[in-house]
Structure 1
Amino acid sequence: MDGGGREFGSLTGRGSPGGSPRARGASPRRRRPSAHRPAGRFATFGPLATIRRQAERLVWALERLRLPRYTGVGATALIFAASIGSGVVLGGHTPVVTAWFADVRDMAANAAGFRIAGVALTGHKHLSRDEVLAIAGITGRSSLLFLDAAEARNRLKANPWVGDATVQKLYPDRVAIDIVERRAFALWQRDGQVHVIAADGTVLEAYLSRGVMALPFVVGTGAERRARDFLALLDRHPDLRDQVRASVLVGERRWNLKLKNGIDIRLPETDVPAALDRLASLERDKKLLSRDITVVDLRLPDRITVRLSDSAAQARDEALKAKRPKPKGGAA
């Protein structure tokens, strides 16, 4: 009761001074379904239904406590805000809501004069300007105030073509990006799949373009990591290198060379430079790789084993038979 003699009661009647209808002698009446409590087949279940029931109980408790005005309304708003947040998380809409808040934030910053008016970009060759900006997360709606330079740099470095990157914010409206790109070094085949790799073995992309067909071709597990050192040894012998179709790492231990004319070169596990020197010397002096052979085995340090082709082996056998002396007395 206020100073004017007026008496305030709850809209639900639960907190009125007169007490409940049963206490005043009134006949009990069947409780009507609440507007906030769906009944029958329209009832809701799951986390949101639980939150709704908790909200109703909280409002009822606050009304019984006779707290200051609007306390129940504020609590209800808080509970429903939590309900919305729960629905966003459970429904998997967090990225969408986060992106929306980021856009609103950037719009406010742009209106305050922090719109990104220009981006200075250096070091890109394989990646286009638009690709670099998209990877860094810079769009026409981005604001300089809320641009996270460290995050943009991390996103750039996560791209396999980018070896290193720097991102600088130049207030009030400029961004400077400098990237160091990896270069396509070789083609690497494993399990039937061919990829373009950098010198450090990083897989840059799947082999899709004929523009990289001139790159060295390496095959086998681990070949992408060891290709740079081995191909550097092969580069010391340009005449030999130009005849190689593929370098195959066998058992992650040693290399075989498959030449364009079909000859296989078997290299040892150790002292590979000396083996390549011997092979190059034989090719230069004896034209070994131009002969009718299929295999040159250099795995033993004190000898070189050569396997003839089938036709060459047959011709050799026939030549040896012709050179054998004929038996005396006409015996066969």
Structure 2
Amino acid sequence: MFALRSGQMKRVRRAGGGLLGMFFSADGFVLPRWLRKPVRVLARLFKGDFTAPRFAATVSSAVLLASAGLYGAYEGGHMPALVQAVTARSGFAVDEVRVVGHHETSEIDVLEKLGLDGWTALIGFDADKARERVGELPWVELASVRKVYPDTLEVKIEERKPFAVWQHENELSVVEQDGKVIAPFAGGRHVSLPLVVGVGAAERASGFLAKVNRFPELASRVKGYIRVAERRWDLWLENGVTVKLPENGEDSALADLARMDREMGLLSRDIAAIDMRLSDRLVVQLTPEAAERRDAALKQRKGSKPEKRI
């Protein structure tokens, strides 16, 4: 083994003379197999025994120009656009977008937030930034954007849940259960939502509506819930009657109101308002027509009294 190794080293010394021959001439050192051929080529190149392949100059120039172009694109911040252009024309352009979970959000709005231009490549597309942009839409609570190779984007949306329509001055807005505004009221399916009116009504509507809903026969007749001076509530019924509830003791007042309507049909009478703010009495305001009829009846009753004979 030693003789064979010595013979190899002698041949290497003879073949590797010159500048690069020192890599072969170290005593007891043998280059790894994968380095031997490159070193031999370099040794021949320095000795002048190497002949460049045909078109080597053209290929080298092309590589140099391509490298310079890539470096310029990187330094100028154009590398993402370059990657997009190359990969899109290589069969990875986004060709399909699937949007799921949306009811209130328009697909057109989602596509605008994705920022696709017809040549957007799936490889260089930033799904995280797209998810953030989609999450800015009014109805979107959570969003996810997933790449499905080779040419599809999948957008999943979880939307905010509408609870009521809030009227503040002349503006109507759809709000969540906690009172946060979702979007301006535009009709449609939201017409059936409860109407809450006034400052502070949106934030306090959830708790109060839960109290009214304990009396279904009463809740079915309510058209609007009006917050007064941020202290108490009025009920605006579908027949135009206004019920003024007390600041304290809403539960008992609602129970009394439902009982009186059940026993006497109070809410179906020709009245304009019911004032329950006083704890010891109930004040009923008649409509103008009912008040006129009442006055006429009283006058007629007075006029029909028999004369006293002396």
Which bracket does the TM-score occupy, shorter chain normalised? 0.5 to 0.7
Rounded Cα–Cα distance in structure 2 between residues aligned with 1:299 and 1:141: 68
Q: Check whether the contact 1:189–1:219 (CA below 8 A) recurs between aligned residues.
A: yes
Residues 159-198 of structure 1: matches in 2 within 5 Å? Answer: 159-171=137-149, 173-198=151-176
Rounded Cα–Cα distance in structure 1 between residues aligned with 2:198 and 2:80: 46
Cα displacement string for residues 280-318 of structure 1 (whole angstroms, at most 9, x for unaligned residues) = 111111100111221112223444322223443455456
Rounded Cα–Cα distance in structure 1 between residues aligned with 2:205 and 2:162: 13
Q: Which runs of 5+ in 2 are unaligned?
A: 1-75
Rounded Cα–Cα distance in structure 2 between residues aligned with 1:266 and 1:319: 28
Residues 249 and 123 (structure 1 numbering): CA distance in 2 closer, same or farther, change over 3 Å? same
Deviation of 1:158 (Å): 1.6
**Equivalent in the alignment of 1:75:** none
Rounded Cα–Cα distance in structure 1 between residues aligned with 2:204 and 2:308: 63
Residues 94-243 of structure 1: matches in 2 within 5 Å? Answer: 104-112=82-90, 114-171=92-149, 173-243=151-221
Rounded Cα–Cα distance in structure 2 between residues aligned with 1:173 and 1:210: 36
Counterpart of 2:248 (choices 260, 270, 273) is 270
Deviation of 1:328 (Å): 6.0
Residues 153 and 315 (structure 1 numbering): CA distance in 2 closer, same or farther, change over 3 Å? same
Rounded Cα–Cα distance in structure 2 between residues aligned with 1:134 and 1:225: 33
Counterpart of 1:245 (choices 212, 219, 223) is 223
Rounded Cα–Cα distance in structure 1 between residues aligned with 2:158 and 2:210: 23
Q: Check whether the contact 1:256–1:266 (CA below 8 A) recurs between aligned residues.
A: yes
Rounded Cα–Cα distance in structure 2 between residues aligned with 1:306 and 1:319: 18
Residues 125 and 260 (structure 1 numbering): CA distance in 2 closer, same or farther, change over 3 Å? same
Residues 148 and 267 (structure 1 numbering): CA distance in 2 closer, same or farther, change over 3 Å? farther
Q: Check whether the contact 1:133–1:139 (CA below 8 A) recurs between aligned residues.
A: no
Cα displacement string for residues 252-286 of structure 1 (whole angstroms, at most 9, x for unaligned residues) = 22211112222111122334233222211111111
Residues 125 and 314 (structure 1 numbering): CA distance in 2 closer, same or farther, change over 3 Å? closer
Rounded Cα–Cα distance in structure 1 between residues aligned with 2:182 and 2:102: 15
Rounded Cα–Cα distance in structure 1 between residues aligned with 2:278 and 2:154: 57
Residues 132 and 219 (structure 1 numbering): CA distance in 2 closer, same or farther, change over 3 Å? same
SS at match of 2:272: strand
Q: Check whether the contact 1:195–1:207 (CA below 8 A) recurs between aligned residues.
A: yes
Letter in 1 for 2:137: N
Rounded Cα–Cα distance in structure 2 between residues aligned with 1:109 and 1:132: 23
**Equivalent in the alignment of 1:260:** 238
Structure ID, larger Rg: 2
Rounded Cα–Cα distance in structure 2 between residues aligned with 1:249 and 1:135: 38
Q: How well do the aligned residues superpose, as a CA RMSD in angstroms?
A: 3.3
**Equivalent in the alignment of 1:27:** none
What TM-score does the superposition give when structure 2 sets the normalisation length? 0.62
Letter in 2 for 1:140: G
When you count helix as a share of all residues, which structure comes out higher? 2
SS at match of 1:111: helix
Instruction: Tell me the matched-pair count.
Output: 233
SS at match of 2:253: helix
Deviation of 1:236 (Å): 2.8
Residues 224 and 106 (structure 1 numbering): CA distance in 2 closer, same or farther, change over 3 Å? farther
Residues 252 and 298 (structure 1 numbering): CA distance in 2 closer, same or farther, change over 3 Å? same
**Equivalent in the alignment of 2:273:** 295
Residues 114 and 276 (structure 1 numbering): CA distance in 2 closer, same or farther, change over 3 Å? same
Rounded Cα–Cα distance in structure 2 between residues aligned with 1:104 and 1:232: 58
Cα displacement string for residues 13-68 of structure 1 (whole angstroms, at most 9, x for unaligned residues) = xxxxxxxxxxxxxxxxxxxxxxxxxxxxxxxxxxxxxxxxxxxxxxxxxxxxxxxx
SS at match of 1:213: helix
Q: Check whether the contact 1:103–1:141 (CA below 8 A) recurs between aligned residues.
A: no
Letter in 1 for 2:93: R
Letter in 2 for 1:132: V
Letter in 2 for 1:180: E
Deviation of 1:231 (Å): 2.6
**Equivalent in the alignment of 2:283:** 305
Q: Which runs of 5+ in 1 are unaligned?
A: 1-96
Rounded Cα–Cα distance in structure 2 between residues aligned with 1:178 and 1:260: 40
**Equivalent in the alignment of 2:60:** none
